[in-house]
Structure 1
Amino acid sequence: MDQHLLVFVMVAEKQNFSRAAEELHMTQPAVSQYIRALEENIGIRLLERTNKYVQLNKAGEIVYHHAKEILGLYTKMQNLVDDLTNKAKGELKIGASYTFGEYVLPHLLTDLQRQYPEIEPSVTIANTATVAELVTSHQLDIGIIEGGFKDKELMEENFAEDSMVIVVSTHHPLALKEMVTISDLENEIWIVREKGSGTREATEEMFHNLLFTPKKKIVFSSTQPIKEAVEAGLGISLLSKWAVQREIINKDLKILHTKGLPFSRQFSMITKSRFQTKALELFIELLRSCESLTFGRGK
């Protein structure tokens, strides 16, 4: 592995030479020497330094982006070589969109660790667009996303279905109705995810299919605050049944029934390389085994 790139990435992320040195178990002068050598080799300054922090300049941002990709490829190469021993171990970098990452993935990782304790998973939870970008740049081994995602660089496989439902506070007037109308839905404030998320894509698809536009939308960047806002009576939302099952059981939220709902969407896995480590192969097998997502979690 190119130690110069490793040191550079650490300094860029820590924004501090001494903290980077501590993380890398090196002396601060050694870290400075590596950065100086890298800048001389590339032929341009990469970091702007002040007394309090260091910061990437434009050239540094370019080098940082490609350094992360190079280091990711190196790690994957090393893991593939290690797999020749046919033992599942080492790092497994997983990305997941919020619904799957927060409400389903922890249970799968529990199973994975029980069976293969030498696999070391690290998880990044972000919206669908961000997860796909990180898989494309080799910073993640696999991404788990919601809804369709078209990218010729990535291999995509649907592996499970997810039901989307409209939820409301149990104290909301609509909670008293057995069936709600399109007019009821249109006149409500909708609490939605940000653009780029699979849940937002599903919500916009629902608006289109039911032929209405809500009078007002309020945007949140993750599911948990949406549930809190709905429970507080701020508005209503379309969410995965996985995300709200606990609140439904506790009677904090109620599912609204209307024609055309619930509807299903797909959970998909995306990968970039056709070469897979043993750890990744086993994790993919585990994902495929939960096709119906009815393994009784979260009760």
Structure 2
Amino acid sequence: MLDFRLKVFYTVALHLSFTKAAEELFISQPAVTKNIKELENVFGLRLFERKANKISLTAAGEILMGYAEEIKSLYQQIEFDFGVLKNKFSGILQLGASTTVGQYILPSVLAKFYKSFPEVRLSMLNSNTSRIEKALLEKKIELGIVEGKKHNNQLKYLPFIKDEIVAIVRTKSTIAINGEIKISDLESIPVVCRERGSGSLEVLEDALYKKKFNIASLNILMHLGSTESIKTFLLNYDCLGFVSIASVSKEIMQGEFRIVEIKDLEITREFSFVHLQGKPSGLAESFMQFALRSYNQK
């Protein structure tokens, strides 16, 4: 933002913390307080309520935060448009990606994008789908890549790529699995899968539901917070896990895991770009187009 005092206000309002704002802006806490007081003097209104060790936005602070977000967005668009005029992209793009796509699909795309546009400053929040959507609604990030269903009509979802969830066991598993199994066999076979709120679990649950099989009937040993933790667990305990094919293709080739075919059950999903309703910034739009081209050229 052009006005540093407004930038200080925005950072404090985002974190609701003078301390965190000082750390993020690399200035002292007294300097943060000074800038906020100057703004309050300019407008003749208090922007924050201070109670004990907590702060909150006043009505005036809420109004100013709305305008600050618009100004930040406009400034980013100015940077992008000027970069286009100079035949180079520049600016800041804050991304968010659900766990699977953030770990196994996006890193190579990000590397190619940075090689092509080194003036662009990228950051990426990696979490599960519900948290990425929450970050978008709170305007902490501008563009997300998530899995699973569309959840919120305040957000716009655009198709990116398709993926498949597969059932795997370690190659030396002693579980009585001979070739293909039936869905009903999952009632007795011990299973590990992702946590509630993850797109992976939601897609698995939906695929089972379509086959009139309740996920509660699965013999679930535990829910784990990442695909890597599922893979490590499977290497150390004899059970079955559900993971993205993109996350385990290397280990299958190396002979660590094997896929278990489940009769009449196909678990597919689509990763989608997601942003707030309305037209995304030029930089976000350009990243989406680049990612689509990059992935389709593999």
Whether TM exceeds 0.5 here: the answer is yes
Does the residue aligned with 2:197 lie in a helix, a strand or coil? coil
**Counterpart position of 1:155:** 156
Instruction: Report whether the alignment pairs 1:256 with 2:260.
Output: yes
Instruction: Report whether the alignment pairs 1:240 with 2:241.
Output: no
| Cα separation, partners in 2 of 1:249 and 1:4, compared to 1, 3 Å | same
Cα separation, 2, equivalents of 1:20 and 1:175: 56
One-letter amino acid matched to 2:25:
L
Do the aligned residues in 2 keep the contact of 1:96 with 1:131 (CA within 8 Å)?
yes
Cα separation, 2, equivalents of 1:282 and 1:174: 48
Does the residue aligned with 1:173 lie in a helix, a strand or coil? coil
| Cα separation, partners in 2 of 1:246 and 1:71, compared to 1, 3 Å | farther
Q: Return the TM-score normalized by structure 2.
A: 0.81
Does the residue aligned with 1:166 lie in a helix, a strand or coil? strand
**Counterpart position of 1:52:** none
Cα separation, 2, equivalents of 1:262 and 1:65: 47
Does the residue aligned with 2:45 lie in a helix, a strand or coil? helix
Q: Which moved more, 1:101-110 or 1:36-45?
A: 36-45
Mark the runs of 5 or more structure 1 residues left unpaired by the alignment: 50-55
**Counterpart position of 1:223:** 227
Instruction: Report whether the alignment pairs 1:78 with 2:75.
Output: yes
Q: May I ask how many residue pairs the two structures share in their alignment?
A: 286
Residues 66-123 of structure 1 deviation map (CA, whole Å, 9 limit, x = unaligned): 8877655433211212233213111111111111011000000011011111111110
Do the aligned residues in 1 keep the contact of 2:45 with 2:60 (CA within 8 Å)?
no
Residues 20-79 of structure 1 deviation map (CA, whole Å, 9 limit, x = unaligned): 546534344322333556788336533634xxxxxx35x359999988776554332112
Do the aligned residues in 1 keep the contact of 2:48 with 2:58 (CA within 8 Å)?
no
Residues 197-254 of structure 1 deviation map (CA, whole Å, 9 limit, x = unaligned): 1101012123323425213341122221111112222532221101111221222221
| Cα separation, partners in 2 of 1:81 and 1:35, compared to 1, 3 Å | closer
Question: How large is the Cα RMSD of the aligned pairs?
Answer: 3.2
Q: Return the TM-score normalized by structure 1.
A: 0.81
Cα separation, 1, equivalents of 2:147 and 2:274: 11
Q: Which moved more, 1:170-179 or 1:239-248?
A: 170-179
| Cα separation, partners in 2 of 1:254 and 1:29, compared to 1, 3 Å | same
Distance apart, 1:134 and its partner CA: 1.8
Distance apart, 1:266 and its partner CA: 0.8
| Cα separation, partners in 2 of 1:35 and 1:75, compared to 1, 3 Å | closer
Q: Which moved more, 1:228-237 or 1:96-105?
A: 228-237
Cα separation, 2, equivalents of 1:91 and 1:268: 21
Mark the runs of 5 or more structure 2 residues left unpaired by the alignment: none
Does the residue aligned with 2:79 lie in a helix, a strand or coil? helix
One-letter amino acid matched to 2:251:
E
Cα separation, 2, equivalents of 1:26 and 1:60: 21
| Cα separation, partners in 2 of 1:256 and 1:273, compared to 1, 3 Å | same
One-letter amino acid matched to 2:285:
E
Q: Which moved more, 1:228-237 or 1:37-46?
A: 37-46
Instruction: Report whether the alignment pairs 1:193 with 2:190.
Output: no
| Cα separation, partners in 2 of 1:93 and 1:172, compared to 1, 3 Å | same
Instruction: Report whether the alignment pairs 1:102 with 2:103.
Output: yes
Do the aligned residues in 1 keep the contact of 2:162 with 2:271 (CA within 8 Å)?
yes
Cα separation, 1, equivalents of 2:286 and 2:230: 34
Instruction: Report whether the alignment pairs 1:289 with 2:284.
Output: no
One-letter amino acid matched to 1:274:
G
Cα separation, 2, equivalents of 1:127 and 1:75: 26
| Cα separation, partners in 2 of 1:76 and 1:15, compared to 1, 3 Å | closer
One-letter amino acid matched to 1:78:
Y
Does the residue aligned with 1:270 lie in a helix, a strand or coil? strand
Distance apart, 1:153 and its partner CA: 1.7
Cα separation, 1, equivalents of 2:38 and 2:284: 36
**Counterpart position of 2:180:** 179
Cα separation, 2, equivalents of 1:185 and 1:256: 11
One-letter amino acid matched to 1:201:
E
One-letter amino acid matched to 1:79:
Q
Q: Which moved more, 1:87-96 or 1:39-48?
A: 39-48
